[in-house]
């Protein structure tokens, strides 16, 4: 499937297939695993994940701004470099919305804490697989490379799920 067949706008596709989006989901999963060892509530995981993603986003924007300024000897300008870096890094924030929402459901007791954390990890893994598929679908029409990319990308989430299972159970 192409972006058009998936009904994905070019801007959304750029955000979803960015390294920041993949990194953001892996970061969120890692923070859910770590937050579980600190406190067993989805509220603590929600705060830990939310703050961490925000700090990493700001750090990415800062580093990207500096990198753009350095690459252009300052000719790109501070404002243009900052805006370009913020747009480039937005995938990290965008992909964290779904797992944060799932954790929020746990804080409101619509689902229990443990289920919320496991659901967020599983959804992250599925999203990683989807991102891997979409990324390769943008340049290949063959299903084998798409599937391999989806499996490899999802494996990052799978490793974190295994880590959670071994550490906490």
Number of domains in the chain: 1
Q: Residue 2 domain-assigned? A: no
Report if residue 169 sits inside a domain.
Answer: no
User: pLDDT value at position 164?
Assistant: 74
- Rounded Cα–Cα distance for residues 70 and 91 (Å): 23
Q: Is 3 part of a structural domain of the chain?
A: no
Judge whether 90 and 61 are in contact, CB under 8 Å.
Answer: no
Residues 6+ apart with CB under 8 A from 127: 25, 95, 98, 157
| Enclosing domain of residue 49 | 10-164
Q: Tell me the pTM.
A: 0.82
**pLDDT tens digit string along 72-123?**
998 999 999 999 999 999 999 999 999 999 999 999 989 998 899 999 999 9
């Amino acid at each position: 499937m192409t972006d058009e067949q998936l009904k994905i706008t070019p801007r959304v596709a750029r955000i979803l297939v960015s390294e920041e989006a993949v990194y953001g989901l892996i970061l969120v999963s890692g923070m859910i695993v770590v937050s579980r060892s600190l406190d067993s509530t989805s509220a603590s995981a929600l705060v830990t994940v939310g703050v961490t993603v925000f700090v990493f986003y700001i750090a990415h924007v800062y580093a990207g701004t500096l990198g753009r300024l350095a690459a252009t000897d300052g000719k790109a300008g501070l404002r243009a470099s900052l805006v370009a870096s913020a747009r480039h890094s937005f995938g990290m924030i965008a992909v964290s919305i779904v797992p944060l929402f799932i954790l929020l459901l746990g804080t409101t007791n619509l689902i229990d804490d443990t289920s919320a954390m496991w659901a967020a990890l599983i959804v992250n893994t599925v999203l990683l697989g989807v991102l891997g598929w979409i990324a390769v679908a943008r340049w290949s029409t063959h299903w084998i490379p798409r599937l391999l990319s989806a499996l490899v990308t999802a494996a990052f989430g799978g490793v974190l799920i295994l880590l959670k299972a071994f550490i906490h159970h």
